[in-house]
Structure 1
Amino acid sequence: MTLRILLLSLLLLGAVDGSVSAQVVTSERARWAAMATRTTIQRDDWGIPHIRGKSDADAVFGMMYAQAEDDFNRIETNYLTALGRRAEAEGEAALWQDLRQRLFINPARLRQLHSESPAWLQALMQAWADGLNYYLFTHPDVRPRVIRHFEPWMALAFSEGSIGGDYERVNLAQLAQFYGQVRIAAREPGQHEYREPQGSNGIAIAPSRTRDGHAMLLINPHTSFFFRAEQQVSSEAGLNVYGAATWGQFFIYQGFNEHAGWMHTSSGVDSVDEFAETIVEQGGKRFYRYGKELRPVREQTVTLAYRLPDGSMATRRFTTFATHHGPITRAEKGKWIAFAAMNTPIAALEQSFLRTKATHLAAFMKVAERRANSSNNTLFADSGGAIAYLHPQFVPRRDDRFDYRQPVDGSDPATDWQGLHALAELPQAIAPASGWAMNTNNAPWTAAGPDSPKQSSFPRYMDSAGENPRGVHAAALLTPAMALTLEGLRALAYDPHLNAFDPLIPELVAAWEAMPDGAERARLAQPMALLKGWDRRWSAESVPTSLAIFWGEALWADTVADLTPGANGMAHYDAMRAAAPDRKLAALTRAVDRLEADFGRWQVPWGEINRFQRNDAAIVQKFDDTRLSIAVPFASAQWGSLASFGAHAWPGTKRYYGTSGNSFVAVVEFGPRVRALAVSAGGQSGNPASPHFNDQAARYASGALRPVYFYPGAMPSHIDQQYHPGQRHSDGALPR
Structure 2
Amino acid sequence: MKKLFILSLLVLASCSPKELTEQERWEKHAENTEIIRDDFGVPHIYGKTDADAVFGLLYAQAEDDFNRVERNYIWAIGRLAEVEGEKSLYSDLRARLYMTEDEAKENFEKSPEWLQKLCVAFADGLNYYLETHPEVKPKLITHFEPWMTMYFSEGSIGGDIERVSTRKIKDFYEPNNQLAVSQGLIRTSDNEPRGSNGFAIAGSKTKSGNAMLLINPHTSFFFRGEVHMVSEEGLNAYGAVTWGQFFVYQGFNEKTGWMHTSTGTDIIDEFEETIVKDGSKTSYKYGDEIRPMDSIEVSLKYKSGDDFKEKSFMTYRTHHGPITHANGDKWVTTALMWSPVKALEQSFTRTKKSNHKEFYEMMDIRTNSSNNTVYADADGTIAYYHGNFIPKRDVAFDYTKPVDGSNPKTDWQGLHALEDNILVLNPPNGWIQNCNSTPFTSALEYSPKKEEYPAYMHSFPENYRGIHAIPLLTEATDLTLDSLIDLAYDPYLPGAEVLITGLLEAAKVAPVETNVAKEAIELLKKWDFKVSESSVGMTLAQFYINTYYRSGKIPNMVGNKRISRLGRFEYMSKTASPTERLAIFQQSLEQLKEDFGSWKTAWGEFNRYQRNDGEIEQDFDDAKPSIPVGMASSSWGALASFGTRFGKDTKRQYGTSGNSFVAVVEFGDKVKAKSMLAGGQSGDVNSPHFSDQSQRYADKQFKDVAFYREDVLKRAKSTYHPGEKNK
Common fold: TM-score over 0.5: yes
1:535 aligns to what? 528
Distance 1:402 1:583, change over 3 A: farther
| Amino acid corresponding to residue 694 of structure 2 in structure 1 | A
| Structure 2 residue matching 1:421: 3-state secondary structure | coil
Q: Tell me the distance in 1 between the aligned counterparts of 2:179 and 2:351.
A: 41
Q: Secondary structure at the match of 1:561?
A: coil
| 2:132 corresponds to 1:138 | yes
Q: How far apart, CA to CA, are the structure 2 residues paired with 1:593 and 1:700?
A: 32
Partner in structure 2 of residue 575 of structure 1:
571
What's the CA shift string for 1:480-519, capped at 9, x where partnerless?
A: 11111111110011000111122222221111121236xx
Q: Which residue matches 1:19?
A: none
Paired with 1:438 and 1:233, the residues of 2 have a C-alpha distance of 28
Q: Give, in angstroms, the shift of residue 522 of structure 1.
A: 3.1
For residue 672 of structure 2, the aligned residue among 667, 672, 675 is 675
Do the aligned partners of residues 544 and 187 (structure 1) sit closer, same or farther apart at CA in structure 2, a change above 3 Å counting? farther
Distance in 2 (alpha carbons) for counterparts of 1:584 and 1:414:
50
Q: Where in structure 2 are there 5+ consecutive unaligned residues? A: 1-17
Partner of residue 690, structure 2: 693
Question: Is contact 2:502-2:572 (8 Å) kept?
Answer: no
- C-alpha deviation, 1:242, in angstroms: 0.3
Give the CA deviation at 1:235: 0.6
Say if 2:65 and 2:683, in contact at 8 Å, map to a contact too.
Answer: yes
Name the count of aligned residue pairs. 701
Kept in 1: contact 2:532–2:631 (CA 8 A): yes
With 535-544 and 595-604 compared, the bigger mean Cα shift is at 595-604
Aligned residue among 239, 256, 262 for 1:260? 256
Structure 1 segment 301-316 matched on structure 2, within 5 A: 301-310=297-306, 312-316=307-311
Deviation, structure 1 residue 283 = 3.2
After TM superposition, list the pairs within 5 Å mapping 1:353-392 onto structure 2: 353-392=348-387
**Partner residue in 2 for 1:5:** none
Corresponding residue for 1:10?
Answer: none
Which SS does the other structure have where 1:524 is aligned?
helix
Contact 1:663 1:681 in 2 (8 A): yes
Shift of 1:409: 1.3
Aligned to 2:3: none
- Find out whether 1:619 has 2:616 as its counterpart: yes
Aligned residue runs from structure 1 range 567-716, under 5 A: 567-568=563-564, 570-577=566-573, 578-716=575-713
Match of 2:135, as an amino acid?
A: D
Deviation by residue 1:2-58 (Cα, 9 ceiling, x = unmatched): xxxxxxxxxxxxxxxxxxxxxx99821111111111110000011110000111111
Cα deviation 1:581-603 (Å, max 9, x = unaligned): 12211221121111111111111
Amino acid of the residue matched to residue 393 of structure 2? R
Give the drift of 1:567: 3.7
User: 1:525 — aligned with what?
Assistant: 518
Aligned-partner Cα distance in 1 for 2:567–2:292:
43
The equivalent residue for 1:324 is: 319
2:240 corresponds to which letter in structure 1? A
* One-letter amino acid of the counterpart of residue 467, structure 2: V
Aligned residue for 1:344? 339
Range that drifts further, 177-186 or 336-345: 177-186
Offset of residue 549 of structure 1: 1.4
Q: CA deviation at 1:414?
A: 1.4
Structure 1 spans left out of the alignment, 5+ residues = 1-23, 729-733
**Secondary structure of 2:448's match?**
coil
Contact 1:609–1:655 (CA under 8 A) maintained in structure 2: yes
Matched, 1:408 2:403: yes
State the percentage of identical aligned residues: 51
After superposition, the C-alpha distances for 1:54-93 in whole angstroms (9 at most, x for unaligned) are 1111111101100000011101100011100111122222
Contact 2:51-2:121 within 8 A present in 1 as well? yes
Aligned to 1:6: none
Q: Give the 3-state SS of the residue equivalent to 2:87 in structure 1.
A: helix
1:708 deviates by: 0.5
Kept in 1, the 8 Å contact 2:88–2:182? The answer is: no
Matched, 1:246 2:208: no
CA RMSD in angstroms comes to: 1.7
SS in 1 for 2:313: strand
Using the TM superposition, give the Cα deviation of residue 562 of structure 1 relative to its aligned residue in structure 2, in angstroms: 4.8
2: CA distance, partners of 1:59 / 1:516: 68
Offset of residue 257 of structure 1: 0.3
Pair 568,420 (structure 1): closer, same or farther in 2 beyond 3 Å: farther
Q: How many Å apart are 1:195 and its aligned residue? A: 3.3
1:671-705 CA-to-partner distances (Å, cap 9, x unmatched) read: 21111010101000000000100000011111111
Pair 1:216–1:40, CA change in 2 (3 A): same
- Superposition deviation, residue 559 in structure 1: 4.3
From the superposition, tell whether residues 381 and 500 of structure 1 become closer, same or farther in structure 2 (CA, over 3 Å).
same
Once the 2 structures are TM-superposed, how far is the Cα of residue 572 of structure 1 from its aligned partner? 2.4
> How far apart, CA to CA, are the structure 2 residues paired with 1:589 and 1:81?
45
Aligned 8 A contact 2:556 2:562 in 1: no
Aligned-pair CA distance for 1:166: 0.9
Question: Cα distance 1:642–1:691, how it changes in 2: closer, same or farther (>3 A)?
Answer: same
Equivalent of residue 113 in structure 1, options 98, 107, 110: 107
Q: CA 1:194–1:662 in structure 2 vs 1: closer, same or farther (change >3 Å)?
A: closer
Residue 186 of structure 1 and its aligned partner are, at CA, apart by: 6.3
Give the 3-state SS of the residue equivalent to 1:504 in structure 2: helix
| Counterpart selection for 1:44 from 35, 38, 43 | 38
Cα distance, 1:553 vs structure 2: 2.5
Q: What CA distance in whole angstroms lies between the structure 1 residues aligned with 2:84 and 2:364?
A: 39
User: Equivalences for 1:261-300 in 2 at 5 Å?
Assistant: 261-300=257-296
Aligned to 1:95: 89
Assess if the C-alpha contact under 8 Å between 1:59 and 1:233 holds in 2: yes
Larger displacement relative to structure 2 (669-678 or 580-589): 580-589
The answer to whether structure 1 residue 208 and structure 2 residue 204 are counterparts is yes
Aligned to 1:228: 224
